[in-house]
Amino acid sequence: MASNVNLSKMDNVFKSHPQPHVLKDLLAQRRKMATDIIHNCIPAKILHFQALIAEENNPESIWYHETSSQPSYTDIKMIQPTRELQTSLKNESNEGKNITLPDDLIGNDKGVEEGVDSQGGNQNKGSQSDHWFEVLDTNKTIMECMEIIGREAEEMYFTAQDLTIWLNLEIPLIEDGNSFGAEVQKHLIDQLTETYKYANYIRDQLRLYHLKRSDVAKEWAQCPNLQDRKAAIMISDKNQHITLRGYLRRLLMLQATLLNKFERNWVKVINPKGSSSREDMAGMY
């Protein structure tokens, strides 16, 4: 049976668009944002990361290259604190609020509980005593470094996303024989994509550090005389400090690479179809 449905014509969809200025307004706003990022944000971050890396030679800095030889790394202790100390730990910091006290689970008074045996007849008694929980303190230096790296990676993630939005709006109509400028833009978009993916990878690795350290700590709590567990935590903390210093360099490289590629290819970015001569192509990167 033949269909009587008439297909809608699509030729004039954009000519009759009810909000024709949405993309233009978005592009104008994103151009201002991109200009600020390129003029101010990225150069400031480059200087910032250089300054942090220079701190590796400062013995007072959390980035000091020999920090891993200090007691916070070499004198790790698994403790069973007194009630007073544990209460203090719980109250003195935001980290301590997550500590579970024995009183959170059982009462203060040691008592005698009555029950029945498996036959249901004879009475038996058992004493209830305090249950203490081992406490392994966090490595304060690592925590401070990770806070900085996490914040910088998050900012890098959104910076790359914002530049990607802007650059996608700048892509021109692609015509046969004159698409070189658009290819430059695509290359830069790919670079931005890799940048925010790596920034997200860094943030995920910070989470994994805590998980791995927790696993070793749990095993150490079960076998407190097994000193290999202590050594494993020490090595994990030392390696994490080295890794975090490496992230400083990687974040510096990402910022510098973006600025360099935008500067060297700026004509193609803002006027992608203005020129496609081989002379222009030769000095692209």
Beta-carbon-side half-sphere exposure of residue 263 (alpha carbons within 13 Å): 11
- State the pLDDT confidence band at 41, using cuts at 50, 70 and 90: very high
Answer whether 62's CB lies under 8 Å from 144's CB: yes
Q: Would residue 13 count as lying in a domain?
A: no
Alpha-carbon distance values, 100 to 87, 136, 210 (Å): 9, 13, 18
Both 42 and 152 in one domain: the answer is yes
**Dihedral sign (CA 250, 148, 138, 210):** negative
Q: E strands within 18-171? A: 78-79, 111-116, 123-128, 135-136
pLDDT value of residue 69: 67
Provide the residue range defining the domain that includes 183.
24-77+137-282
Nearest-angstrom CA–CA distance, 189 and 76: 46
Q: Could you tell me if 200 and 244 lie in one domain?
A: yes
Same domain, 184 and 59: yes
pLDDT the model gives residue 146: 96
What's the total number of domains in the chain? 2
Selected residue with higher pLDDT from 260 and 233: 260
Lowest mean pLDDT among 74-88, 106-120, 219-233: 106-120
Same domain, 181 and 210: yes
Q: Specify the length of the chain in residues.
A: 285
Structural domain ending residue among the three candidates 133, 154, 173? 133
Same domain (yes/no): 55, 175: yes
Q: Are 139 and 73 in contact (CB under 8 A)?
A: yes
Q: Are residues 260 and 188 in the same domain?
A: yes
pLDDT range class, residue 203, cuts 50, 70, 90: very high
> Is residue 164 included in any domain, yes or no?
yes
Q: Which of 172, 175, 164 is nearest to 199 (CA)?
A: 164
The domain spanning residue 144 has which CATH number? 1.20.120.180
CA-closest candidate to residue 260, choices 178, 173, 166, 188: 188
Q: Name the domain boundary from 91, 107, 133.
A: 133
> Are 269 and 205 part of one and the same domain?
yes
Q: Radius of gyration of the chain from Cα atoms?
A: 30
Does residue 12 fall inside a structural domain? no
pLDDT above 90 as % of the chain? 42
124 lies in the same domain as 217: no
For residue 247, with 0-12 CB atoms within 10 Å meaning exposed, 13-18 middle and 19 or more buried, which class applies?
Answer: buried
In this structure, the answer to whether residues 56 and 147 fall within a common structural domain is yes
Most confident of 102-111, 223-232, 270-279: 223-232
- Mean pLDDT score, 197-203: 96
> Which pairing describes strands 135-136 and 123-128: parallel, antiparallel, or unpaired?
unpaired
Residues 52 and 87 in one domain: no
What does the mean pLDDT of the chain come to? 78
Beta strands in 62-196, from DSSP E residues, in sequence order = 78-79, 111-116, 123-128, 135-136
Entry pTM: 0.71
Q: Are both 189 and 171 inside the same structural domain?
A: yes
> Do 107 and 48 fall into the same domain?
no
